[in-house]
Amino acid sequence: MTSRPTEAEHLRDLARLRRVRDRIDREYAQPLNVEALARDAHMSSGHLSREFRAAYGESPYSYLMTRRIERAMALLRRGDLSVTEVCFAVGCSSLGTFSTRFTELVGVPPSTYRRETAPATAEMPSCVVKQVTRPVRNREAPVTEQHLT
């Protein structure tokens, strides 16, 4: 039988989860995995994954991929890098996985996004572009791996 965490333990976990989320936001282009994030947060990887999903509505992997795709969208709108260069610049190690996740999250492949969105947003202020192009998760791909790269 598991006991409920005290309010102090719950608040401590939330602070740890914020640090994990902030680390993902800062280091999205680096190789990250659940075990290392959990170890640094003084949690088990299972506990981190469960609590992160409960707090933020998605797994640490999905959160990381959302950050990577958001950054990729900005780089693709600039138009000076190839899709492959953008893939590696945001920390993805597989062009196929990057393209699949990008399409799942954005609704179109990266090359289509760059071709259609860059001209459409050229005259908009960057703060507006960020809002109107923010990815909305279309569907969650099943994820079982513990490595986030």
| pLDDT tens digits along 36-63 | 999 999 999 999 999 999 999 999 999 9
Give 144's pLDDT tier (boundaries 50, 70, 90). very low
- Span 65-109, pLDDT tens digits: 999 999 999 999 888 999 999 999 999 999 999 999 999 999 999
Tokens of 126: 């960057």
- Measured in Å, how far apart are the chain's first and last C-alpha atoms? 35
For domain 64-132, the question of CATH label 2.40.30.10 is answered with: no
The Cα-based distances of 101 to 4, 74, 116 in angstroms read 36, 16, 18
Q: What sign does the dihedral 21-27-28-32 (CA atoms) show?
A: negative
Q: Which residues contact 51 (CB under 8 A, 6 or more apart)?
A: 13, 17, 43
Question: Is the model's pTM score more than 0.85?
Answer: no
Domain boundaries along the sequence of the chain = 7-57, 64-132
